[in-house]
Amino acid sequence: MSDKEADTSVPIHDLIARRWSPRALDDTVEVSPEQLRAVLEAARWAPSFGNTQPARYLAGLRGDDTFRRILGTLTERNQSWAHRAGALLIGLAVTENEKGEIPYAEYGLGLAGQNLVLQAVAEGLVAHQMAGFDPDAVRREFTVPAGVRPAIAIAVGVLGAPEVLGDERGIARETAGRKRLPLEEFAFTGDWGEPLFATGRSHPPAG
Ligand SMILES: Cc1cc2nc3c(=O)[nH]c(=O)nc-3n(C[C@H](O)[C@H](O)[C@H](O)COP(=O)(O)O)c2cc1C
């Protein structure tokens, strides 16, 4: 297990265990149009409230105009690594239609996003979601209509060597182990706060 693979109390699906959010991307390798299509197909098949399908995407491949325009909406910090991505996407939530507000629109976009990210792993790629972008700049740049909210930027690419990041802090962060709340602080039974699973157990405590 690499430092980046999830440390789980029981085995979980390999795609989930291996997913993480790298910044060190290899800009000598491309994301193919077929791979981009596959991650978007995966996102398209996400569940949503009443099948309202609130998720939409703007997407570009490195070298094209849309990629350049999405990159320009990212914070400088995110631009500093995301320019090496093979594809950049903006995830948008359709929050209103002719009948009014779409319930759970952002939840739906989140589900689509996780489908997209896991399909990227299945394609041998990596994906890194970013809140660090300017939604108003996306609105202006891509003439996004009212009732549609630019909610997330996503870099999809090929994992590179940590050294491409250049600075020591960035490399240390890139190679550090990943942490999560322990399961006993995450899932409860009976009253709030009563752990469903104790550390290291794979079954609920007896009795
Ligand atoms: C909604 C959201 C916004 C995020 N925004 C950024 C961001 O702007 N820049 C960045 O480098 N990482 C960003 N991340 C990545 C998180 O920091 C990362 O998912 C988290 O630290 C857990 O690490 P892991 O994905 O490697 O498990 C974001 C993730 C999510 C889900």
Mean pLDDT over 123-128 rounds to 98
Does the beta carbon of 78 sit less than 6 angstroms from any atom of ligand 1? yes
| Contact present, 80 and 153 (Cβ < 8 Å) | no
Between the alpha carbon of residue 157 and those of residues 39, 55, 63, 154, 201, the distances in Å are 12, 21, 13, 10, 36
**Residue nearest (by alpha carbon) to ligand 1 atom 1:** 131
Looking from the CA of residue 113, the nearest atom of ligand 1 is: 31
Pocket-testing residue among 83, 129, 167, ligand 1, by greatest number of atoms within 8 A of Cβ: 129
Find the 206 Cα to ligand 1 centroid distance in Å.
37
| pLDDT average, residue stretch 166-193 | 96
20 Cα nearest atom in ligand 1: 26
Nearest CA to ligand 1 atom 4: 130
Pocket test for ligand 1, best of 2, 75, 130 (most atoms within 8 A of CB): 130
Instruction: Give the domain 14-160 fold.
Output: NADH Oxidase (3.40.109)
Residue 15 has pLDDT above 50, yes or no: yes
Position 114 pLDDT exceeds 90: yes
Instruction: Report the SS3 class of residue 171.
Output: helix
pLDDT one-digit tens code per residue, 48-77: 999 999 999 999 999 999 999 999 999 999
| Average pLDDT across the chain, whole number | 95
Alpha-carbon gap, residue 8 to 15, rounded angstroms: 13
Residue 56 DSSP symbol: E
Query: Which residue in the block uniquely carries the two structure tokens 């739906």?
Result: 108
Q: Does the CB atom of residue 73 touch ligand 1 within 6 A?
A: no
132 in ligand 1 pocket by Cβ < 6 Å?
yes
pTM: 0.95
Query: Is residue 131 in contact with ligand 1, taking CB distance under 6 Å?
Result: yes
Most informative mutation of 5, 21, 88 for ligand 1 (most atoms within 8 A of CB): 21
Domain boundaries, the chain: 14-160, 179-207
Mean pLDDT in residue range 103-117: 98
